[in-house]
């Protein structure tokens, strides 16, 4: 059976259809090619400011919530490490962008550190921060690597968190100002913008569970932050539209296929509630559907923070939606769990490989979430703006032969292609991440990069996955 025959058959069989072992082998042997995705399909890698830049207090930059938590509450980081130096991209951006060019990577997605540009969160602009990102953008253009900017990737200025952070309704105006300054500074050369990276992650992990900065465990702050961040999608998007001529405006969401191993009434309802939290909470109000309170009654606590006119302002006509997938979530009912009444089934019980993040390797999951988002009425183009895996890498004779990551990327790309062949308006795929980096509360242990980093020497080593991606992009 050819790949095309399998794709046609799997479209009939549905989302749960598994790729036969012989086709896994065919994919592994390189049967999928860049050309299969079409000449206009976009390819790139993604990073985030706090995870790679370092220079945490250099040239006028003030502390972000992550600087503050890593320094003041180091126990929140499993390894008690911080992003003070990270990959030292602040000083090494030229060589890293030159390496991207050498590897043939067409697009570099990176975020802006709010605290470099507006150290107080609002007010006076830090010219040194503007200058840094101008140099990064100009270097990208010089090397033929297209810059794509994410406005916000989790590093709120600590000065603003001291005023309540995203739980303060003023955060909408703070964010508008940050996006306004940034787009006026860089919009003449950068046309592709993402408003947020994974809002569920920094609201839930930051304000409800306390695992990520600012490390709060406060349900009221969580509910408020959900609404203010939802509002900020449209607020930021409208600023980009106003300031950037011919802008391509998107935002990104973390997405996971939510399933249960044993179907019954209780478990199926648990799947629905968990799906709202993980996949639906932000995208539906942005699409004009309102908050999905019917399927998750706890969202009534979000609704009460709405003011007159908010429902209309939540909507925004994005040019694309970024879907970001790493694994699936398998749940069962447990009504003792607040809000969602569900608990995760341990990934080790699911019978598949597990990554260094304790995430199940489940390629079919990316197909399922792409199809799920594509089914929304009036959904714009979808782009896979993050996909990747952390495995235990070993440096042997100067090489990192990360075969598991290579296979992961091939298998997931097979599912992306399957969705595209079935007619999904799918426009691109970005690997997370270009470099090994500071992986938030996990520290430096999990390594996602297709380029390895020796954090003691800052040496870069292109892994087997990076070499494979280069060959794939070159059509070899």
Q: In this predicted model, what pLDDT tens digit does every residue of 54-109 receive, in sequence order? A: 999 999 999 999 999 999 999 999 999 999 999 999 999 999 999 999 999 999 99
pLDDT for position 5: 41
pLDDT for position 31: 78
pLDDT for position 6: 39
Average of per-residue pLDDT across 426-432: 98
For the chain, how long is the longest CA-to-CA vector? 64
Average of per-residue pLDDT across 264-291: 98
183 touches 240 (CB < 8 A) = yes
pLDDT for position 16: 38
Where residue 140 falls among pLDDT bands split at 50, 70, 90? very high
Average pLDDT in the chain? 94
pLDDT for position 17: 41
Where residue 4 falls among pLDDT bands split at 50, 70, 90? very low
Q: Rounded to whole angstroms, how far apart are CA atoms 341 and 297? A: 11
| pLDDT of 21 above 90 | no
pLDDT for position 7: 40
pLDDT for position 28: 43
Write down the H helix ranges in 264-327: 265-275, 283-286, 300-303, 310-314
The domain 34-473 is placed in CATH, from the list 3.20.20.80, 1.10.10.10, 3.40.50.720, 3.30.230.10, at 3.20.20.80
| pLDDT of 158 above 70 | yes
| pLDDT of 9 above 90 | no
Identify the burial level of 158 via C-beta atoms within 10 angstroms of its C-beta, where 0-12 means exposed, 13-18 middle and 19 or more buried: buried
Average of per-residue pLDDT across 174-185: 98
Distance (Å) of CA 407 to CA 91, 172, 336, 370, 413? 33, 42, 39, 20, 10
To the nearest whole percent, how much of the chain has pLDDT over 90? 93
pLDDT for position 97: 98
Average of per-residue pLDDT across 15-26: 40
pLDDT for position 461: 98
Q: Using one digit for the tens of pLDDT, what is the confidence trace for 440-465?
A: 999 999 999 999 999 999 999 999 99
Q: What is the pTM for the complete model shown?
A: 0.93
Q: What are phi and psi of 430, to 5 degrees?
A: -120, 130
Per-domain residue ranges of the chain = 1-31, 34-473
Residues with active-site annotation: 198, 386
Looking at 1-10, 230-239, 264-273, 282-291, which range is the least confident one?
Answer: 1-10
Average of per-residue pLDDT across 407-425: 98
Give CA torsion, residues 221, 222, 228, 234, to 10 deg.
170
| pLDDT of 20 above 80 | no
């Amino acid at each position: 059976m050819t790949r095309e025959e399998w794709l046609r058959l799997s479209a009939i069989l549905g989302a749960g259809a598994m790729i036969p072992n012989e086709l896994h082998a065919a994919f592994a042997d390189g049967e999928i090619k860049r050309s299969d995705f079409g000449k206009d399909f976009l390819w790139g890698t993604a990073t985030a400011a706090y995870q790679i830049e370092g220079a945490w207090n250099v040239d006028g930059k003030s502390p972000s919530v992550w600087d503050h938590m890593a320094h003041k509450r180091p126990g929140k980081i499993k390894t008690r490490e911080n992003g003070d130096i990270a990959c030292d991209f602040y000083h090494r951006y030229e060589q890293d962008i030159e390496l991207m060019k050498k590897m043939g990577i067409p697009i570099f997605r990176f975020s802006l550190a709010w605290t470099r540009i507006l150290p107080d969160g609002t007010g006076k602009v830090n010219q040194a921060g503007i200058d840094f990102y101008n140099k990064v953008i100009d270097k990208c253009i010089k090397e033929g690597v297209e810059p794509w900017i994410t406005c916000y990737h989790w590093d709120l200025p600590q000065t603003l968190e001291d005023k309540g952070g995203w739980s303060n309704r003023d955060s909408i105006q703070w964010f508008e100002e940050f996006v306004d300054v940034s787009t006026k500074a860089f919009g003449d050369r950068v046309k592709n913008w993402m408003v947020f990276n994974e809002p569920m992650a920094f609201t839930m992990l930051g304000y409800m569970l306390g695992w990520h900065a600012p490390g709060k465990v406060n349900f009221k702050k969580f509910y408020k932050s959900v609404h203010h961040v939802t509002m900020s999608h449209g607020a930021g998007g409208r600023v980009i539209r106003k300031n950037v001529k011919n802008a391509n405006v998107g935002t990104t969401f973390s997405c996971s296929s939510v399933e249960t191993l044993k179907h019954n009434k209780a478990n199926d309802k648990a799947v629905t509630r968990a799906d709202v939290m993980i996949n639906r909470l932000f995208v539906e109000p942005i699409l004009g559907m309102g908050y999905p309170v019917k399927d998750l009654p706890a969202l009534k606590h979000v609704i009460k923070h709405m003011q007159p006119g908010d429902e209309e302002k939540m909507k925004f006509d994005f040019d694309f939606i970024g879907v970001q997938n790493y694994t699936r979530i398998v749940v069962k009912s447990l009504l003792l769990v607040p809000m969602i009444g569900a608990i995760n089934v341990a990934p080790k019980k699911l019978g598949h490989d597990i990554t260094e993040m304790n995430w199940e390797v489940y390629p079919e999951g990316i197909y399922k979430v792409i199809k799920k988002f594509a089914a929304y009425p009036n959904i714009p183009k979808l782009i896979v703006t993050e996909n990747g895996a952390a495995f235990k890498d070993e440096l042997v004779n100067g090489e990192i032969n990360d075969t598991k990551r290579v296979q992961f990327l091939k298998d997931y790309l097979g599912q992306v292609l399957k969705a595209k062949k079935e007619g999904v308006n799918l426009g691109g795929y970005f690997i997370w991440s270009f470099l090994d980096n500071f992986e938030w509360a996990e520290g430096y242990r999990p390594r996602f990069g297709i380029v390895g980093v020796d954090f003691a020497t800052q040496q870069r080593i292109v892994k087997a996955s990076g070499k494979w991606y280069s060959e794939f992009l070159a059509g070899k």
